[in-house]
Amino acid sequence: MKLFAILIFVFCTSSVNATDYVQTSRYVERDVSPKSQLVDPLKVVIDFSFPQGLNTVGEAIHLLISPSGYKLDLKELDIAYLLFELPLPEIHKHLGPVRFKEAVSILSGKGFIPNFDETLRRISFTTESESIKLVDISPYKEQWLARKKPSPFTLRSHAVSNANYEGYIRYTVKEGDSVSIIAGKLGMSFTDQFSDQVVQNNPHAFIDKNPNLLLSGATIKVPSL
């Protein structure tokens, strides 16, 4: 009986320590243990629709990773320039719900392998295709650089309806928008905290307060940087 009681105590102790809580009011405790997405941004689940007029894989990858904290790691004549100029398949113009890491792999396709440097937060691409290695990369690099500067998919081109007010940016939801896409358009980092705040501030714009069910045409307040 004593051994059984000890086992019960050990089990309960390990269960309690598995998750950390803080008491925010007399009857409410909140889980403050870090979520896996906060520890590893590659695990963030996204639901992303690319805007109309975006037609190449490179533009899609560039917009997808812009709020993630990751950057492209490109060499002088990187094979990624060829990948970037490939047409974006229609089926890839909406991704999700899917983890960020898998989304990059989907966009790069089977011919290219994305490599993630989690220390420096850089993304590069390699290939095992011998035929691609024989291609002259120079014209693809020139096309990409000409297309990227100035990028058509920046904050200014997505027409925020009004400037900053009361610490927020007012934004009118477009068809195909999601919270993650809006973050990317506004040059902000997409996190669970950002998503929760947008939903909390704009209950009228979501169905059943679901961050994945955003109403087109609604005007929302987005926390400014």
Instruction: Kindly give the pairing relationship between strand 21-23 and strand 122-126.
Output: unpaired
The answer to whether the CB of 123 falls within 8 A of the CB of 115 is yes
Cα 111 from Cα 60, distance rounded (Å) = 17
* Least confident window among 8-22, 96-110, 209-223: 8-22
pLDDT of 11 > 80? The answer is no
* pLDDT score at 137: 94
Torsion, Cα 99 103 109 115, to 10 degrees, reads: -70
pLDDT in tens, 98-157: 889 999 999 999 999 999 999 999 999 999 988 887 899 999 999 888 876 644 444 333
Q: How far apart are CA 177 and CA 48, in angstroms?
A: 8
| Helix, strand, coil distribution of the chain in percent, nearest 5 | 40, 20, 40
The whole-number pLDDT of residue 126 equals 94
Q: What is the mean pLDDT of residues 158-172?
A: 56
| Rounded Cα–Cα distance for residues 82 and 84 (Å) | 5
- How far CA 146 is from CA of 87, 125, 143, 151, in Å, comes to 16, 20, 5, 9
Give the per-residue pLDDT at 139: 94
Give me the pLDDT at residue 6, please.
Answer: 38
Domains of the chain, each with CATH number or no CATH: 39-148 (3.55.50), 156-223 (3.10.350.10)
Does pTM surpass 0.95?
Answer: no
| Distances 55 to 38, 52, 152 between C-alpha atoms, Å | 31, 8, 11
Strand, coil or helix: 9:
helix
Percent over 70 (pLDDT), the chain: 73
Least confident of 46-50, 159-163, 189-193: 159-163
Tokens coding 102: 């898998």
